[in-house]
């Protein structure tokens, strides 16, 4: 990379330097210091420019990551006088902890309930936004609005909607003669409610990303298919979807990472505002449990072990999704 840079003919260091003038008058064999500085400049400045990210990442990303692994090997209670080393005991306890598996189940359940419909709606929404609508930009900006709104405000509004006794949705269900749903108490209903919050916020955002990719698909391909007599659905399935593959993979992976770390929505959904995720942990996610262990029970070692297990689970599921979406999105295209 640096080699490429030195060959750039009009770099900042090269341009104002006519070689004749810089020639040392007494025929000194060494390059003058300004030249050497320039050379250093060209060689290392790019690193200096990208360094802030890596330094910050090392400080607030990598260091905590490694330090968490270290802490997870101790019985580390916040404020305790000593932290005895206990090896992998935190992990062993964790893997035998029913509450953890319950939290893992809830997380994955909420993740599936949110990501799957979200992806499908986002792609369809993008296809709609890609058609010749009136006031196209307004529509396109419109789908991003939920993303702009404050998450806390959204969660409060949604927990009002999903209230058991006085919530709007149950009031509506009552008025049309259906029996009300216990959105807090029933585990499945609570997962649906939380997934709805996630979908509301992220579908538009993902639709815009997919839309951008959709617009990059060359018209010629569509036209050729049109000439061959392919209908709109056929073109969408056989051309649009396969060509969206890299974007869909990206969106799926980011939503996997985000979805498995879901925290704010279930936390604010709890009417008592606690981290228990409902009275019998029916919607406690892994990060909520992690937060509860670390910052309410002050058991940092245990919380750190949980963070690492979650990290590994995210990696595995993201990798799984990567292969899955690659297969799904590649149908209709020979590889």
From the CB of 289, what's the least distance to other proteins, in Å? 12
Does residue number 153 form part of the binding site for other proteins (CB under 8 A)?
Answer: no
Alpha-carbon gap, residue 62 to 311, rounded angstroms: 13
Three-state DSSP class for residue 231: coil
Does residue number 63 form part of the binding site for other proteins (CB under 8 A)?
Answer: yes
Nearer to other proteins, 83 or 222 (CB): 83
* Contact by Cβ (8 Å): 266, 85: no
Q: Work out which of 65, 69, 130, 164 binds other proteins, going by CB under 8 A.
A: 164
From the CB of 280, what's the least distance to other proteins, in Å? 5
Sequence length of the chain is 335
Burial of 300 (0-12, 13-18, 19+ CB in 10 A): buried
Burial of 274 (0-12, 13-18, 19+ CB in 10 A): middle
Stretch that binds other proteins, among 8-16, 27-35, 140-148, 177-185 (CB under 8 A): 177-185
From the CB of 194, what's the least distance to other proteins, in Å? 16
Does residue number 274 form part of the binding site for other proteins (CB under 8 A)?
Answer: yes
Q: Work out which of 46, 61, 185, 231 binds other proteins, going by CB under 8 A.
A: 185
In the block, which residue shows the tokens 């999704």?
321
Which positions from 291 through 330 interact with other proteins, judged by CB under 8 A? 295-298, 300
From the CB of 189, what's the least distance to other proteins, in Å? 12
Does residue number 75 form part of the binding site for other proteins (CB under 8 A)?
Answer: no
Nearer to other proteins, 170 or 240 (CB): 170
Please list, in sequence order, all residues whose beta carbon lies within 8 angstroms of the beta carbon of residue 240, skipping any fewer than 6 positions away.
Answer: 127, 214, 217
As given in the structure block, the two tokens for residue 267 are 């936390």
Does residue number 59 form part of the binding site for other proteins (CB under 8 A)?
Answer: yes
From the CB of 108, what's the least distance to other proteins, in Å? 23
Q: Is the dihedral of CA 269, 271, 277, 282 positive or negative?
A: negative
Nearer to other proteins, 117 or 163 (CB): 163
* Contact by Cβ (8 Å): 262, 290: no
Does residue number 279 form part of the binding site for other proteins (CB under 8 A)?
Answer: yes
Nearer to other proteins, 54 or 63 (CB): 63
Does residue number 52 form part of the binding site for other proteins (CB under 8 A)?
Answer: no
Q: Is the dihedral of CA 201, 204, 208, 213 positive or negative?
A: positive
From the CB of 52, what's the least distance to other proteins, in Å? 12
Q: 115-118, long-range: CB within 8 Å, 24+ apart, which pairs? A: 115/252, 115/255, 115/256, 115/259, 117/195, 117/199, 118/198, 118/199, 118/202, 118/203, 118/206, 118/255
Stretch that binds other proteins, among 24-32, 105-113, 178-186, 195-203 (CB under 8 A): 178-186
From the CB of 254, what's the least distance to other proteins, in Å? 24
From the CB of 33, what's the least distance to other proteins, in Å? 34
As given in the structure block, the two tokens for residue 192 are 């649906």
Nearer to other proteins, 189 or 209 (CB): 189
As given in the structure block, the two tokens for residue 195 are 């997934």
Alpha-carbon gap, residue 2 to 203, rounded angstroms: 41
Binding site for other proteins (CB under 8 A): 59-60, 63-64, 67, 78-83, 156, 159-160, 163-167, 182, 184-185, 271-274, 276, 278-280, 295-298, 300
């Amino acid at each position: 990379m640096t080699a490429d840079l030195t060959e750039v003919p009009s770099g900042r260091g090269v341009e104002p330097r006519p070689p004749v003038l810089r020639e040392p008058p007494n025929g000194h064999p060494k390059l003058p210091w300004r030249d050497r500085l320039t050379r250093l400049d060209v060689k290392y400045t790019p690193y200096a420019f990208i360094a802030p990210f890596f330094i910050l990442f090392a400080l607030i990303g990598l260091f905590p990551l490694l330090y968490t692994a270290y802490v997870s090997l101790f019985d580390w209670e916040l404020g305790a006088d000593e932290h005895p080393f206990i090896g992998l005991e935190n992990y062993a306890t964790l893997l035998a902890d029913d509450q953890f598996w319950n939290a893992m189940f809830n997380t994955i359940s909420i993740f599936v309930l949110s990501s799957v419909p979200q992806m499908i709606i986002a792609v369809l929404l993008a296809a709609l936004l890609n058609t010749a609508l009136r006031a196209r930009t307004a529509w396109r900006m419109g789908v991003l609005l939920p993303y702009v709104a404050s998450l806390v405000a959204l969660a409060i509004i949604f927990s009002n909607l999903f209230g058991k006794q006085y919530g709007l949705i149950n009031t509506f269900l009552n008025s049309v003669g259906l029996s009300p749903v216990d959105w807090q108490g029933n585990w499945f209903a609570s997962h649906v409610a939380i997934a709805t919050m996630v979908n509301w916020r992220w579908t538009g955002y993902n639709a815009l990303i997919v839309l951008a990719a959709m617009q990059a698909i060359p018209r010629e391909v569509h036209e050729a298919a049109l000439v061959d007599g392919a209908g709109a659905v056929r073109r969408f399935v056989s051309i649009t979807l396969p060509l969206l593959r890299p974007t869909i993979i990206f969106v799926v992976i980011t939503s996997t990472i985000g979805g498995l770390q879901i925290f704010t929505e279930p936390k604010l959904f709890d009417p008592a505002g606690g981290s228990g995720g409902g009275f019998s942990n029916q919607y406690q996610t892994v990060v909520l449990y992690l937060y509860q262990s670390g910052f309410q029970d002050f058991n940092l070692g245990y919380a750190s072990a949980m963070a690492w297990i979650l990290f590994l689970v995210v990696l595995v599921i993201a990798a799984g999704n990567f292969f899955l979406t690659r297969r799904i999105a590649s149908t209709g295209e020979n590889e």
